[in-house]
Amino acid sequence: MVRLAAVIILLLGLTVSSGCDNEPDVNPASPITSPSDPDPHWVVQQEPPAKLALVYVHGVFGDMVDTWTASNGKTFFGLVDENPNTKGKADAFVFGFPSFLLKGGSFDIREAANRLHERLQYHGILNYPAVVFVAHSMGGLVVMRELLTHRDILGKVPVVVFYATPQEGAKIALIGQMFAPNTALGQMTEADGNDLLKTLSDEWNSMSQNERPHVRCAYETIPMGPGKIVTWSSATRFCEGSPPAIEANHIDIVKPNRPEHDSIVVLANALNDYVLRRELEAKLETPDFTSEGADAVFNLTNVLGKQSARLVNAGGSALRFTLAEVSDPALLLWPDDTPREIPAQQTSRMSVALSRSASPSITEYHFILRTDNAPDRRVIVRVPDISIIKAQQDRIAKSVTAQINAALADPQLSERFKEAATDDKGPPEALIRIAYTEFERESPHLPDSGKWVLTADLLNSLNWPSLAALALQKAEEASPSVTHMPGVQLLAGVVAAQAGETRVFANVPTPVATPEVLAAWDVSQPLAEPATFELGDELANRMHDIPAFKFYSLSLKGDIQQAKGNLTEARKSYSAAATIRPSPSLVWRRTKLDQG
């Protein structure tokens, strides 16, 4: 057995350490805080703590400290703290996992990655603005598995540095797994026959370039036993640039003996390129806001969701933001699913719109822009010219009406609608899709949920609450979180009350609109005004000949006749509509007509 072990050691080019569950050798020359700690632990801690955490991950048969310690007693992490480019700029944490040659109990790659994540959380490493993994051999595969499993931490990891990591596997592992009871060896055989490495490759490449961290690598040049443990092609598979050669074998590549050893230089360059020369903490910039004391101001000149504001993270780590405490439900903000993260050096956009329930007397709205690294900031949304609201809303109403008229003028489409049963959802959905298309053309950058909400808002103002309910359901399908927006909740309550429905959304309750809310929501019918009488009459007449649309035709006719002063004809139209589909909206309009 001893001779067999010696053969394996020679073939794998490894020195057998005591394993990470035993005490590593004490190295008084290194700034080790707990040299006798058998568990993963901090080995370098600045005072005050640095903003960067380096996490060292060893490979198969490795050890938390021995793997990184040269024959002169110098440690990799100690030398990083001596290097003039990196001195005093990072805290260092050594991670380890059981990995044995001749006894059981070793972790495979998945198990090691799961333990790594637990330790990252337990030791507060994920609270650092930036985290950089420094990995040897199989440790790089453990790091990849960790980042692919927990992609939410990618924003904190600007770069990873791999030393002789077998990204395409290693031939020598196939021999080793025949003799050693360590399942990790079987996971590092050559990639052509290795499903785990193929899966890692597919998942890694599935990430966008902006999502995945930069990868810097170095490879060994000196063979051990019959050859190099990890070949150049395997050690450089996912790496950027021209990975440098290190004049060392597989073991010594992470045992530098001086601060400016090539292995230290590789890490120092990676840190300078992606971490140290950048702002490490998240930093919010709002170029489309102006400052007014402690507040930010956004001037809203387009109420149809066409305007957006840039939220720029100019820092070096992910920024979490929340849009909160909206002052008035008429103010609609997207994204609707905050809190949301902006990756380092990336930009997100927030869209702003006003619903048709916005009061002409209100010229300022506000909300809170909340981040995880700065005090809450109040943002004032100011409407410089109230007349713009009316003009834009009238324009989009006319445009939607014209498009519906054009669609109904198409003989084939009109005939198809006429053949549909009155309870067929196809024709109503076709109508709301036409309205949605106009908002899509008007505000292409607005999220789909926003376009559907504005579609519902318009359809409700046309006194077609049942169509508005369909549009709100489309908004929920596009983004379930939109149903929690105050303005959307209020609109849903009004729509449900006017349509006589108890529920609008599939997954959240529909609020009950009080009489006061309904009275306050009494917006003007955009087609029941002198400038749009002709357009409205044309639409009502075209819809009247289609059974599925007759209810909407009579409701619209009643509104136009009432606006023209033809009260008797208006009552007849409302009554006829009620015989097709009774609704509280029709009752309310008849009552208002009788009282007026």
* Distance of alpha carbon 287 from alpha carbon 254, whole angstroms: 45
What is the share, in percent, of the chain residues with pLDDT greater than 90?
Answer: 53
CATH fold of 284-382 reads Immunoglobulin-like (2.60.40)
- What pLDDT is attached to residue 102? 58
Assess contact for 389 and 354: CB atoms under 8 A: yes
Residue 22: the pLDDT is 36
* Confidence band of 385 (pLDDT split at 50, 70, 90): confident
| pLDDT of amino acid 345 | 83
Reported as a single tens digit per residue, the pLDDT across 322-376 is 999 999 999 999 999 999 999 888 899 999 999 988 888 899 999 999 998 889 9
Asked if 305 contacts 352 with a C-beta cutoff of 8 angstroms, the reply is yes
Q: How far is CA 535 from CA 399, 404, 522, in A?
A: 10, 11, 22
Sketch the domain layout of the chain as residue ranges. Answer: 2-276, 284-382, 386-595
If you write DSSP's letter for every residue of 252-271 in order, what string do you get? GGG---STT-HHHHHHHHHH
In this prediction, residue 103 has a pLDDT band, given cuts at 50, 70 and 90, of low
Residue-wise pLDDT tens digits, 431-471 = 999 999 999 998 888 999 999 999 999 999 888 999 999 99
Question: Is the full-model pTM beyond 0.95?
Answer: no
Residue 106: predicted pLDDT: 74
Q: Which CATH architecture has domain 2-276?
A: 3-Layer(aba) Sandwich (3.40)
142-153 per-position pLDDT tens digit:
999 999 999 999
pLDDT digits (tens, 9 = 90+) for 257-306: 999 999 999 999 999 999 987 777 788 999 999 999 999 999 998 878 78
For residue 100, the model assigns a pLDDT of: 63
Q: How far is CA 362 from the centre of its chain?
A: 34
The answer to whether 575 and 594 are in contact (CB under 8 A) is no
Residue 359 confidence (pLDDT)? 86
**Dihedral sign for Cα atoms in the order 542, 548, 551, 552:** negative
pLDDT at position 349 is 93
Output the pLDDT for position 2: 41
Residue 371 φ/ψ, nearest 5 degrees: -125, 170
Strands 347-354 and 159-163: unpaired
Query: What is the chain's mean pLDDT, rounded?
Result: 85
- The pLDDT of 422-437, averaged and rounded, is 88
Q: Can you tell me the distance from the alpha carbon of 37 to that of 13, in angstroms, rounded to the nearest whole number?
A: 27
Is residue 15 pLDDT above 70, yes or no?
no
Cβ contact 275:130 at 8 Å = yes
Q: Which tokens hold the place of 120?
A: 């990252």
The first and second tokens of residue 92, run together, are 């260092």
pLDDT in tens, 165-220: 987 766 554 444 444 444 545 454 555 556 677 888 889 989 988 889 999 999 99
Residue with the bigger pLDDT between 84 and 32: it is 84
Confidence of residue 138 (pLDDT cuts 50, 70, 90): confident
What is the average per-residue pLDDT within 316-326? Answer: 90
- Alpha-carbon distance of 329 to 19, in angstroms, equals 61
pLDDT at 162: 97
70: pLDDT strictly greater than 90: yes
Q: Which of 99-103, 141-145, 247-251, 262-266 has the lowest mean pLDDT?
A: 99-103
Q: How confident is the model at residue 36 (pLDDT cuts 50, 70, 90)?
A: very low
In whole angstroms, give the CA distance from residue 466 to residue 427: 13
Predicted pLDDT at 489? 94
Q: What is the pLDDT of residues 109-118, one digit of tens each?
A: 889 999 999 9
Provide, rounded to the nearest whole percent, the portion of the chain with pLDDT above 70.
88
What confidence score (pLDDT) does residue 165 get?
A: 92
Question: Quick one: pLDDT at residue 42?
Answer: 96
User: What pairing do the DSSP bridges indicate for beta strands 159-163 and 130-136?
Assistant: parallel
Q: Residues with Cβ < 8 Å from 387, sequence gap 6 or more? A: none
Q: Average pLDDT in the 84-100 region?
A: 91
Domains 2-276 and 284-382 share a fold: no
- Residue 566 confidence (pLDDT) above 60: yes
